[in-house]
Amino acid sequence: MAIEVGMNGRLFHLHTKDSTYQMYADEHGVLLHTYYGKRIDGENLADLIFQADVGFSGNPPEAGGNRGYSLDCLPQELPSDGVGDYRESCIGLVHEDGSMAADFRFEGYRILPSSYKVKGMPALYDTEKETGSTLVITMREKASGAVVRLLYGVFEEENVITRALTVENQGEGDLWLTKCLSCCLDFQFGEYDMITFAGRHAMERSPERTRIRRTKLEVSSRRGTSSHQYNPAAILCAPEATEDFGDCYGMCLVYSSNFCVSAQKDQRGQTRAVMGILPEHFSFCLRKGEAFEAPQVILSYSDHGFSGLSHQYHRILREHMCRGKYQFAKRPVLLNNWEATYFNFDKEKLTALAKQAAELGIEMLVLDDGWFGKRDDDNSGLGDWFVNEKKLGGTLRELGEEIHSLGMKFGLWFEPEMISEDSDLYREHPDWALTIPGREPNRGRNQLVLDMSREDVREYLLERLTDILKNAPIDYVKWDMNRSLSDIYSHVYTGNRNGEVAHRFILGVYDLLERFLERFPDILLEGCSGGGGRFDAAMLYYSPQIWCSDNTDAVNRLSIQYGTSFFYPVSSMGAHVSAVPNHQTGRATPFETRGHVALSGSFGYELDINKMTEEEKHLVREQIADFHKYYTLTHEGTYYRLTGLKERFCAWEFVDEKQDHALLTLVMTSAEGNPLPVHTRVKGLAPDKAYRCSENGHVHSGRTWMNGGLTLSKVPGEYESVLIEWEAI
């Protein structure tokens, strides 16, 4: 059974194929976290909890004279503020009388035969192939009407357990929620490292590994997005854990706005990790009968190192988070006009690009920024979603039909959440922007942000998007978001309700995305926020691929795509071949290398193909042929990181489901005189199958290839790359 209940309904086991999560509601109603790790049997492990009188760790009244029983030392599922646990909490409340204690005790449970949903937010869902199950545990605050329902979902085959919670006000007066984190993991014993994924615009998601100590370790975003700077996913692992060995615990938040994840050892050496909505500047008023739902956290455990953990996340996100026609349908090879023309284009330039693209086998032209309103640079026009027919030299329908006549699809860029002050929309509705009355607003990229918490704003945007897509043959939409939020103030949720706005903003974004996709279910939607500024599990619910980074430099992309791969499947990463010298770095890399790196993603081009040489055009045809040849490997196969980022080459591998076909990509990142041989590991083959290697024609068993590895017959030069195949015979 995935969910097992014992000891008169107080002992709970959540079993996946290879792991167990155990909780126990003790005699005082405190819900203890007793175990998470490799699968165990049904015995109660609460006896592992060591109780002793710890100075300055007080005792709840139920403990009586037992000075060894303290919330400050116990491993808990729902640690809360103001009642004697001085470590990081998950819940903070302000009651009508101004008091701030939050003392939740176990009341009951129920089991549901399907996965739970989170109102207004994405969450993992059931499929015909596999249905999850849900444990709901009710916790009631001792002295008020606050009730928390803890939600635990189990996806047995994927080794995934999810966490979410709902806070409901069942009292008579108002209740203020000041903190609401979705998940807490308490580990009584052991040393752990924490791996987070940090960066900046155009250099996202670089892994950083830090030992968890008594100094609090936290990463967070206060930008109104999950951000380029930090990603809402983290790994707790044994210090000795590697790609292939060791205990690893993943925490992945299904949320696209302000978040935090932190870990810290307490005075007794116990480790607590929490994850959820960032408490800073957050508050939410719950009137009688109202409830607040916190976003889902996807937990997964592996004792097979980072690779094993990544495989579990790749599968669950591909199969139970991504949706729609393009969840599994083949993605078209696209050409984006941005780095070819920027704002300087007309119909003649676009059709010239499309004609050349069609001849080379490219399957879609995407028209990026600048096709609407008064928009010849990034200082005006956002919000005026009306086609600039004068600039295009005709209607959008005419342009789209001409591109379709070439046998290509047609895509369009939008930035719906933004508004320019130099726009008709702002002149008509200045109160629709997030600005504070009486203050000059901060600007990012010379633009402001629309208040997506407002229904009238969302209705306007849906109307404009619908009008454009219904009147032109659009197959793809790139949904961009090019600044962080500041000056957060809503003219609807005024006064002390402004602490709700950041959360209501992202709920509004989700609502608009959901309604947009209901109207246009066959659209391929690609998410974007200046590249990877909103690359998170929640956005995959709407867009099965996300522009991985605005940085298209092939060498920088090695680290960006490497870090992204720890949680997110390769099929979700938008990756393009661009011109050299690269527009972001000035680096020149071989055309073949740019293609090999971009093949490990949803593939396309970001350059002026009319300026390419005949040799480069020949290579484009070869790369597109490779994309189709290897598609099931790169988009559906199992992905292995073969190297880290500090070696003189970077290598990764895909293996198909039947273990009949493998593809290894290797890129040299540095060159040396009198070079040493290049030897790489090989993973994922079936030990007892025989494979022929394309690099040297040799045939060995999978066991031999994996244990012996491969030495290249020639050392590639700096930035050169190779593709190597293994096929079962």
Q: Give pLDDT, residue 73.
A: 97
Mean pLDDT of the chain, nearest integer: 97
Residue 486 has pLDDT above 90, yes or no: yes
State both tokens at 727. 């096929």
| Single-letter amino acid code for the residue at 297 | V
**What's the pLDDT band for 494 if we cut at 50, 70, 90?**
confident
- Whether 189 contacts 240, CB under 8 Å: no
| Beta strand 297-302 pairing with 291-293 | unpaired
Reported residue count of the chain is 729
CA angle 543, 546, 550 (to 5 degrees): 150
Q: What is the DSSP letter of 447?
A: B
Burial (Cβ within 10 Å: 0-12, 13-18, ≥19) of residue 586: exposed
> How far is CA 592 from its chain centroid?
29
Where does 188-270 show beta strands of DSSP type E?
Answer: 193-200, 203-211, 217-221, 233-237, 248-253, 259-265
3-class secondary structure, 273:
strand
pTM value > 0.85: yes
Where does 359-400 show beta strands of DSSP type E?
Answer: 364-367
State both tokens at 169. 């006000």
State both tokens at 313. 């996340």
Dist CA 547 CA 530 (whole Å)? 8
State both tokens at 23. 């909780």
| Single-letter amino acid code for the residue at 366 | V
pLDDT tens, residue by residue, 533-557: 999 999 999 999 999 999 999 999 9
Dist CA 714 CA 721 (whole Å)? 11
Q: Whose structure tokens read 């001849």?
A: 359
Q: Give pLDDT, residue 457.
A: 98
- Half-sphere exposure of 655 toward its Cβ, with a 13 Å CA cutoff? 19
Tell me how far CA of residue 48 lies from CA of 187, 345, 382, 700, in angstroms. 11, 69, 59, 49
Residue 496 has pLDDT above 90, yes or no: no
* Percent of the chain at pLDDT exceeding 70: 100
Q: Give pLDDT, residue 297.
A: 99
Give exposure, 713-726, as e/b (b: 16+ Cβ within 10 Å): eebbeebbbbbbbb
| Single-letter amino acid code for the residue at 173 | G
Q: Give pLDDT, residue 630.
A: 98
Mean pLDDT of 72-77: 98
Closest among 681, 677, 565 to 317, alpha carbons compared: 565
- Whether 654 contacts 663, CB under 8 Å: yes
**What's the pLDDT band for 1 if we cut at 50, 70, 90?**
confident
Residue 662 has pLDDT above 90, yes or no: yes
Dist CA 183 CA 447 (whole Å)? 35
Where does 569-693 show beta strands of DSSP type E?
Answer: 573-578, 602-606, 638-641, 649-655, 661-668, 679-680, 690-693
Dist CA 339 CA 336 (whole Å)? 8
pLDDT tens, residue by residue, 577-611: 999 999 999 999 999 999 999 999 999 999 999 99
Q: Beta-carbon neighbour count of residue 217 at 10 Å?
A: 18
| Beta strand 524-527 pairing with 476-479 | parallel
Q: Give pLDDT, residue 574.
A: 98
Q: Beta-carbon neighbour count of residue 677 at 10 Å?
A: 9
Dist CA 154 CA 15 (whole Å)? 7
Which active-site residues does the annotation give?
536, 616
| DSSP codes joined into one string, 103-155 | -EEEEEEEEESS---BTTB------SS---EEEEEEEEETTSSEEEEEEEEEE
- All structural domains of the chain, each given as residue ranges with its CATH number in brackets, are 3-320 (2.70.98.60), 325-547 (3.20.20.70), 649-728 (2.60.40.1180)
Strand ranges across the sheet with 649-655? 638-641, 649-655, 661-668, 721-728, 690-693, 699-701
Q: Give pLDDT, residue 405.
A: 98
Burial (Cβ within 10 Å: 0-12, 13-18, ≥19) of residue 79: buried
Helix (H) / strand (E) element for 517: namely helix 501-519
User: To 10 degrees, the CA torsion angle through 548, 551, 552, 557?
Assistant: -70
Residue 401 has pLDDT above 90, yes or no: yes
CA angle 653, 659, 663 (to 5 degrees): 25
| Beta strand 690-693 pairing with 699-701 | antiparallel
